[in-house]
Structure 1
């Protein structure tokens, strides 16, 4: 087996006890926080499979909440995350689901603030690595381990090409890209994993392109 880095052998720097149940859970929570773009007032956390059975003993609960608070996997505040969320006025609810999913370490996070709401489905695949499988009803495959841009847009001719061209003009290399839509001609979502961080100026410029409704980013 060929390893790309020491990380692939020893796993992530993290607050234990488990790379899958703790570090992976914290990263899923952190991705949710990045995408929501602000601190939520409420967080409903639906746990499936192994997560539902062992989330308290393995620290999955505090890891998910820690990520939602903006803590990285190595943050020493993670064990106190639920208490800290309560102090910040965030209502956290855990729901143990009986439904089975393809992966045992599956969680659905629903964040809300006022009328704003976001729903994310993620899995922890081991070694602290994760995949986001669904976002607000859009099917996708987002690792959360690389810088990424998420672009909500109208399903119109040229929207994808214009975003790709602007990234190329700024010498941003695309490592992975996929597009999901709910229906032809309706709202669609571009997920673009890139090789380097994208600054706010370029992000704002993407937002001015025709047919683009919203742009967010995740930085590794």
Structure 2
């Protein structure tokens, strides 16, 4: 992971004692909220490694829930997020996991509202920098720091080219892109980080492409 500036190392403006355990956790929660698209009815939050050992003392629990409530890292409401989540009707369960993960600051977030479900795994690298490493069992690498789209699609020849052609048509520059699939010819996922906001009409054009089943848009 390369840091873009000294502020990435020093850490962001934040509530809490630790940029990795608090600010990073809040950002992971907020990315999960963005991808889910609404306030979930239920959130199961599983901590691994150092997160599992120190989450209460470092405020990782309130930070993740604050992110799920769409609070930024500096939001003064984060210390009260558990109470605010209860008032908003969101049920929260915390689990401490024993299994060893590749990164010590790892959290798995499972969200549901009775109609849809989402499972996300994120890591907090330090200085408030994060990566989303798994989404609904798809492996990926998403920083959450730039505008991005996630394209859920059937694994078909020519579809990657069709998506990038639409982006090129509107002079949208791709900063990072990766593709993963569960099995050949089955469901697949494109993760595309770009340098500028993607407008609604571009999203609609992408959604109209054959074999595309869903477009999830993230903004910085």
Q: What range describes the TM-score normalised by the shorter chain of this pair?
A: over 0.9
Partner of residue 37, structure 1: 37
The CA distance in 1 between the partners of 2:124 and 2:49, in whole Å, is 12
Sort the Cα spacing of 1:200 and 1:123 in 2 relative to 1 into closer, same or farther, 3 A: same
- Give the aligned partner of residue 93 of structure 1: 93
Q: How many residues align?
A: 219
State the Cα RMSD in Å.
1.2
More divergent stretch after superposition (183-192 vs 141-150): 141-150
Aligned counterparts of 2:60 and 2:48: Cα–Cα separation in 1:
12
The aligned counterpart of 1:14 is: 14
> CA distance change for structure 1 residues 42 and 3 in 2, over 3 Å: closer, same or farther?
closer
Return the offset for 1:78. 0.8
Asked whether 1:212 is paired with 2:205, we answer: no
Q: Give the TM-score, by structure 2 length.
A: 0.96
Q: For residues 52-101 of structure 1, what are the alpha-carbon distances to aligned partners after superposition, in whole Å with 9 as ceiling and x for unaligned?
A: 11101101000000101111111111111110000011000000000010
Judging changes above 3 Å, is the alpha-carbon distance between structure 1 residues 3 and 141 closer, same or farther for their aligned structure 2 residues?
closer
The Cα of 1:3 is off from its aligned counterpart by: 6.6
Distance 1:117 1:50, change over 3 A: same
Deviation, 1:43, is 0.1
Query: Does residue 167 of the first structure (1) align with residue 186 of the second (2)?
Result: no
Q: TM-score, normalised by structure 1?
A: 0.96
Cα separation, 2, equivalents of 1:205 and 1:74 = 36
Q: Which residue in 2 is equivalent to 1:82?
A: 82
Partner of 2:122: 122
User: Partner residue of 1:133?
Assistant: 133
